[in-house]
């Protein structure tokens, strides 16, 4: 049974049983405490917690999920994957334990010809929470399971909570027995790979508080509305139904594994280490494909860092399988073909996905080449010094700063006959993980608890009137002061105000929040921010300027009209720039993010190379031509499928409901899904002046522009600068570029001439310096401060000349100079000096320490530097002392 068929059977079964079928949410979640949708319940959290009334009493879905907490387990176990799909059925105050058990058992054990999954009841085991007698008795009454195949387990396995105050409850898990070939008898309590958990039924019935850990808390009482949250792992069911040993061999994953086998020339099933690498490649390529399809782009932080890590682990695994060249073109195509039936977007959007994948692979292959060069130098230096182990801090630097995997460091070091101080490396990694976990815990504590808004949201959605009105009368529904409900707020206090209606725009879709005031009888509030803390609810952060505001009082929201108009201009200009980019570069230049505020817009888009000056000019001209043409701006609210059929552009990673707002500028020329505010006609945008274009990732570019009066002021300032230059240089405006280029060339030539004279002057010091060599023990030493130099190369040249003049003596030359504002020391040694034990690299480090910097190099010539020019005498004294002691 194919994976997609299992999913469809699941949805068909629950639809027949009165459930609303809900499409999968994006892997990118709105929850600020999470980077990704890590479980099937994440999109339903507002409904399960009661923060937002559920739009349906019962639902079912197939939810895309991504977890990297157990990333090191991928490939080693039959069921650990980073991307997975969770089949879920949900009840929001509708059916409870009996219904959940009936539905689960019915689907699992019904014959395939009747639409079920056809599991033999004799292969199934169940666990329940040890104190949940109700669930235990229901399993006995509703199914033909014998008592001995219903096991009671503790809180650590059969009790669900988020680890935060709120809903919680016992759970019941269903396991499949793979048979004695996979482990010992004894049921799920043996915690053995023989028993695979396929379905978890969570009975969300309690409210908890005083949470001391995930399994240590106080139960306040029962929830007013008990919920059902279930999750069945699609990949786990698939590998059982398909008769394979693990999820990596199922129909949606195996094609990538097979392609990796083909590209590597190695066999699957022959060597355990290779099998793990093949499975890592198959899992990580699929996960990367799905993240890219949901609009995540590789980067150095947040979600983008996780994606980059997955892609680089896949590249690393292919390299350990003996493939050093690029493979993503073939691997991603194989994953696309395997996943397209379930997720058509991976095929329709594949050009963009592949562009990111190939760019990231090329970047990392260059990183590997650079890292190998650094590692090779470290290996050589370690061997020359008689060492046997690479410093753990250096291995960590390669891993953390250059992205060079520790596995490759270990492998290359082993080939060179050296080891790596793995203990020191692991200690540094542990410190880094500890910091990251502390940051994540802090973020979770600060941002995750939205229960304070639950009662406000229960009163209904906040009505936004700002599309048509800049003032709206309303009522204060609630107040929060320092995060806690309050009845009033007085002058000087900062509070959150919840209103029934508002004309103030809450930050979203790239458009910043409105500025303005809220006024009422005897009070005035300055609006500091407007946000949507939970779906459907608007919160106004305000400072009480005067008076006292209280719950239940009348309130009028007043939008700053000048700021709103400028923000509208910027937002509409963003749409113009997007359309101009697509006109110029083609449909693959799609939106990857934006920011719009009064007078300024920033637009990120998918593109792999810098735009030429001519292209930037063309884009700017197309946008301003649209302004000139006074195009009509219209908005329509319509079903999302109809909007997409009309060609509306959607922002990748953005979540849209069944009904959307579509903004047209000039009809289909610019047609986007957008909830922001806009001008009435394109001429109202005013001037659009592109002021910047830059890279924001391997395949992302950013265009920045000033809009309206801000654009005019910027151009006026540039005009004033041009006027000053024409006057100062006595050159017509059109000849300024050539005149400035001429002056720059003359300056460069003069600098070059000065540098040559300085180099000649420095070189002339050679004979005198050699004649002044002092005797320190076995060495003739020249340690001198030569003043200033144009470059370190001039100092190096002089040091080598002086060394040559010392002939066959055991000579050491240490010359210091100031290059710009920084001190430089060059150390050179003769062959006889090296034979006597003087190493230039070691001496350069000694000098550099005195200068407050670092240094090193070969035994015959090396360089050091620092930040303190006043320490040059001390650096030279340190070299003398080192040689004298020797």
- Looking at residue 438, its pLDDT comes to 59
Ligand-binding site membership of 674 (annotated): yes
655 with 769, same domain? no
Residue with token string 């009888």: 521
The answer on pLDDT for 655 being more than 70 is: no
Total number of domains in the chain: 7
Q: How confident is the model at residue 653 (pLDDT cuts 50, 70, 90)?
A: low
Examine the fold and report which residue of 345, 365, 384 is the final residue of a domain before the chain moves on.
Answer: 384
Q: Which H/E stretch holds residue 660? A: strand 659-665
Residue 724 included in any domain: no
Instruction: Give the CA count within 13 Å in the CB-facing half-sphere of 872.
Output: 20
Examine the fold and report which residue of 384, 399, 427 is the final residue of a domain before the chain moves on.
Answer: 384
Q: How confident is the model at residue 444 (pLDDT cuts 50, 70, 90)?
A: very low
343 with 412, same domain? no
Beta strands in 130-282, from DSSP E residues, in sequence order? 150-153, 159-161, 166-177, 195-213, 216-233
The answer on pLDDT for 433 being more than 70 is: no
Residue 456 included in any domain: no
- Looking at residue 524, its pLDDT comes to 96
Residue 831 included in any domain: yes
Query: Which domain does 740 fall in, by range?
Result: 731-760
Ligand-binding site membership of 225 (annotated): no
Beta strands in 399-493, from DSSP E residues, in sequence order? 419-420, 463-464, 471-481, 484-486, 488-490
- Residues 114-127 pLDDT 10s: 999 999 999 999 99
Q: How far is CA 427 from CA 170, 393, 421, 834, in A?
A: 38, 10, 10, 37
- Residues 171-209 pLDDT 10s: 999 999 999 988 899 999 987 789 999 999 999 999 888
Radius of gyration of the chain (CA): 34
Q: How confident is the model at residue 445 (pLDDT cuts 50, 70, 90)?
A: very low
What pTM was estimated for this model as a whole? 0.69
Of the listed ranges 39-53, 136-150, 650-664, 671-685, the least confidently predicted one is: 650-664
Residue 625 included in any domain: yes
Residue 722 included in any domain: no
Ligand-binding site membership of 678 (annotated): yes
- Looking at residue 152, its pLDDT comes to 95
- Residues 261-285 pLDDT 10s: 999 999 999 999 999 999 999 999 9
The answer on pLDDT for 78 being more than 50 is: yes
Q: Which residue has the higher pLDDT, 210 or 471?
A: 471
Q: How confident is the model at residue 439 (pLDDT cuts 50, 70, 90)?
A: low
Q: Which residue has the higher pLDDT, 254 or 379?
A: 254
The answer on pLDDT for 885 being more than 80 is: no
Q: Residues 684, 687, 691, 694: what is their CA dihedral angle, to the nearest 10 degrees?
A: 50
Tell me the range of 569-583, 636-650, 814-828 where mean pLDDT is highest.
569-583
Whose CA is closest to 823, among 861, 787, 860? Answer: 787
- Residues 352-393 pLDDT 10s: 899 889 988 988 888 887 777 778 888 888 887 777 888 888
Average pLDDT, the chain: 89
55 with 194, same domain? yes
- Looking at residue 448, its pLDDT comes to 42
> Beta-carbon neighbour count of residue 516 at 10 Å?
26
800 with 707, same domain? no
620 with 576, same domain? yes
The answer on pLDDT for 591 being more than 90 is: no
Return d(Cα 390, Cα 644) in angstroms, integer: 56
- Residues 460-501 pLDDT 10s: 899 999 999 999 999 999 999 998 899 999 999 999 999 999
Mean pLDDT of 47-52: 83
The answer on pLDDT for 81 being more than 90 is: no
Mean pLDDT of 402-419: 76
Residue 271 included in any domain: yes
- Looking at residue 446, its pLDDT comes to 40
- Looking at residue 139, its pLDDT comes to 97
- Looking at residue 318, its pLDDT comes to 94
Examine the fold and report which residue of 559, 592, 619 is the final residue of a domain before the chain moves on.
Answer: 559
Mean pLDDT of 290-313: 88
348 with 409, same domain? no
Residue 463 included in any domain: no
Whose CA is closest to 501, among 466, 525, 527, 535? Answer: 466
145 with 193, same domain? yes
């Amino acid at each position: 049974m194919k994976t997609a068929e299992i999913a469809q059977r699941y949805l068909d079964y629950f639809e027949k049983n009165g459930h609303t079928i809900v499409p999968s949410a994006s892997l990118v979640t709105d929850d600020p405490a999470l980077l990704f949708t890590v479980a099937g319940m994440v999109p339903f959290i507002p409904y399960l917690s009661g923060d937002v009334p559920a739009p349906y009493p019962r639902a079912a879905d197939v939810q895309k999920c991504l977890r990297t907490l157990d990333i090191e387990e991928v490939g080693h176990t039959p069921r650990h994957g980073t991307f997975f799909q969770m089949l879920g059925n949900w009840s929001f105050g509708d059916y409870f334990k009996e219904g959940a058990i009936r539905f689960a058992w019915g689907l699992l054990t019904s014959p395939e010809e009747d639409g079920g999954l056809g599991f033999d009841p004799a292969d199934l085991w169940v666990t329940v929470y040890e104190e949940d007698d109700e669930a235990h008795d229901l399993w006995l009454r509703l199914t033909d399971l014998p008592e001995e195949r219903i096991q009671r387990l503790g809180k650590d396995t059969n009790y669900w909570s988020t680890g935060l105050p709120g809903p919680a409850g016992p759970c019941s898990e269903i396991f499949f027995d793979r048979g004695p070939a996979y482990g010992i008898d004894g049921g799920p309590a043996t915690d053995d790979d023989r028993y695979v958990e396929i379905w978890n039924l969570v009975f969300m019935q309690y409210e908890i508080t005083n949470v001391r850990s995930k399994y240590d808390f106080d139960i306040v009482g029962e929830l007013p509305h008990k919920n059902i949250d279930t999750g069945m792992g699609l990949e786990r069911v698939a590998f059982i139904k398909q008769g394979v040993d693990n999820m990596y061999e199922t129909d949606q994953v195996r094609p990538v594994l097979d392609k990796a086998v083909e590209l590597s020339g190695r066999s699957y099933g022959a060597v355990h280490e290779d099998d793990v690498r093949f499975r890592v490649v198959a899992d990580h390529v699929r996960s990367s494909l799905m993240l890219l399809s949901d609009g995540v782009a590789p980067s150095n932080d947040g979600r983008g860092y996780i994606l980059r890590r997955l892609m680089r682990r896949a590249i690393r695994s292919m390299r350990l399988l003996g493939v050093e060249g690029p493979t993503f073109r073939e691997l991603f195509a194989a994953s696309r073909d395997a996943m397209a039936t379930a997720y058509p977007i991976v095929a329709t959007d594949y050009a963009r996905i592949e562009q990111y994948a190939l760019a990231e692979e090329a970047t990392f292959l260059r990183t590997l080449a650079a890292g190998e060069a650094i590692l090779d130098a470290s290996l050589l230096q370690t061997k020359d010094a008689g060492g046997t182990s690479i410093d753990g801090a250096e291995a960590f630097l390669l891993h953390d700063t250059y992205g060079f995997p520790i596995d490759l460091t270990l492998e290359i070091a082993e080939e060179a006959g050296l080891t790596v101080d793995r203990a020191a490396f692991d200690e540094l990694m542990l410190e880094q993980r500890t910091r990251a976990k502390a940051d994540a815990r802090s973020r979770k504590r600060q941002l995750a608890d939205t229960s304070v808004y639950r009662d406000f949201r229960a009163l209904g959605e906040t009505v936004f009137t700002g599309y048509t009105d800049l003032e709206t009368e309303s009522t204060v529904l609630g107040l929060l002061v320092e995060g806690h409900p309050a009845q009033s707020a007085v002058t000087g206090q900062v509070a959150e105000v919840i209103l029934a209606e508002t004309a103030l725009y809450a930050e979203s879709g790239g458009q910043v929040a409105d500025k303005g005031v809220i006024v009422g009888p005897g009070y005035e509030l300055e609006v500091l921010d407007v946000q949507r803390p939970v779906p459907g609810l608007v919160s106004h952060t305000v400072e009480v300027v005067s008076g006292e505001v209280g719950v239940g009082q009348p309130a009028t929201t007043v939008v700053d009209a000048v700021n709103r108009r400028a923000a509208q201009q910027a937002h509409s200009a963003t749409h113009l720039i997007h359309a101009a980019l697509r006109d110029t570069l083609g449909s693959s230049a799609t939106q990857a993010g934006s920011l719009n505020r009064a007078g300024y817009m920033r637009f990120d888009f998918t593109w792999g190379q810098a735009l030429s000056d001519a292209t930037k000019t063309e884009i700017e001209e197309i946008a301003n031509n649209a302004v000139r043409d006074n195009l009509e701006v219209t908005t329509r609210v319509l079903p999302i499928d109809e909007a997409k059929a009309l060609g509306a552009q959607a922002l990748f990673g953005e979540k849209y409901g069944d009904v959307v707002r579509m903004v047209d500028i000039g009809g289909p020329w610019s047609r986007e899904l957008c909830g922001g505010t806009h001008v009435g006609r394109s001429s109202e945008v005013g001037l659009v002046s592109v002021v910047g274009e830059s890279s924001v990732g391997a395949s992302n570019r950013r265009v920045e522009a000033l809009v309206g009066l801000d654009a005019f002021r910027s151009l006026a300032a540039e005009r004033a600068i041009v006027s000053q230059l024409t006057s100062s240089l006595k050159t017509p405006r059109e000849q300024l570029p050539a005149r400035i280029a001429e002056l720059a060339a003359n300056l460069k030539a003069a600098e070059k001439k000065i540098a040559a004279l300085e180099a000649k002057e420095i070189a002339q010091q050679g004979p005198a310096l050699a004649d002044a060599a002092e005797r320190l023990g076995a060495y003739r030493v020249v340690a001198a401060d030569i003043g200033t130099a144009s470059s370190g190369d001039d100092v190096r040249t002089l040091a080598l000349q002086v060394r040559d003049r010392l002939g066959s003596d055991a000579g050491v030359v240490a010359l210091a100079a100031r290059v710009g504002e920084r001190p430089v020391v060059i150390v050179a040694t003769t062959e006889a000096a090296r034979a006597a034990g003087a190493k230039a690299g070691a001496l350069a480090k000694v000098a550099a320490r005195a200068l407050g910097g670092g240094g090193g190099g070969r035994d015959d010539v090396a360089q050091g530097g620092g930040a303190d020019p006043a320490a040059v005498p001390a650096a030279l004294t340190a070299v003398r002392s080192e040689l004298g002691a020797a």
